[in-house]
Amino acid sequence: MSTRAIGAQTITVSGNPGLLRISTAVAGSQPTSVSDATRTFTVNTPPGGGGAKYNVSMNIDANMPAGVTLTATLAIPAGSAATATPVALDVTPRLALSAIKKNYTGSATMTYQLAATAAAGVVPVSSRTVTLTIVLAP
């Protein structure tokens, strides 16, 4: 009989970004997007077996209004051997970080960008909850 510790994979975020409000535009152009890169995330993966790798997906609790896009980018944590992909957030979980190696703990920045088209018009202030999920890669 053998025993081994079972580890859990976790991902934590340093807090919520500030209010993202688009308030400027250059005449003849789309409104100027805004961003927030003041938050970090920490990912922790268990030892795992074989060539285990982990992925992080992101989604929001309600779709953005028409003509408005919220994009998130997770920086690649140092030494993680991961691949990052900017994600236009909606209610469907989308791959944001892939191939994080097993038995890894590290932190990096996350950036949110809010963009809108002129067709979006005036959009009332609202909030979204962003969910990050870490899973064993297929």
Looking at the whole model, is its pTM more than 0.85? yes
Ranges of each domain in the chain: 33-118+127-136
Query: 60 near 87, Cβ under 8 Å?
Result: no
Residue 13 pLDDT > 80, yes or no? yes
Mean pLDDT, range 72-81, rounded to an integer: 92
Percent of the chain having pLDDT more than 90?
Answer: 70
Q: Residue 47: its pLDDT value, please?
A: 81
Per-residue pLDDT tens over the stretch 14-60: 999 989 999 998 888 999 999 999 999 999 998 866 778 999 999 99
Among candidate residues 126, 125, 128, 117, the one with its CA nearest the CA of residue 89: 128
Mean pLDDT, range 89-93, rounded to an integer: 98
DSSP 73: E
**3 state SS of 7:** coil
| Helices and strands in the chain: count of H runs, count of E runs | 0, 9
Highest mean pLDDT among 6-10, 62-66, 81-85: 62-66
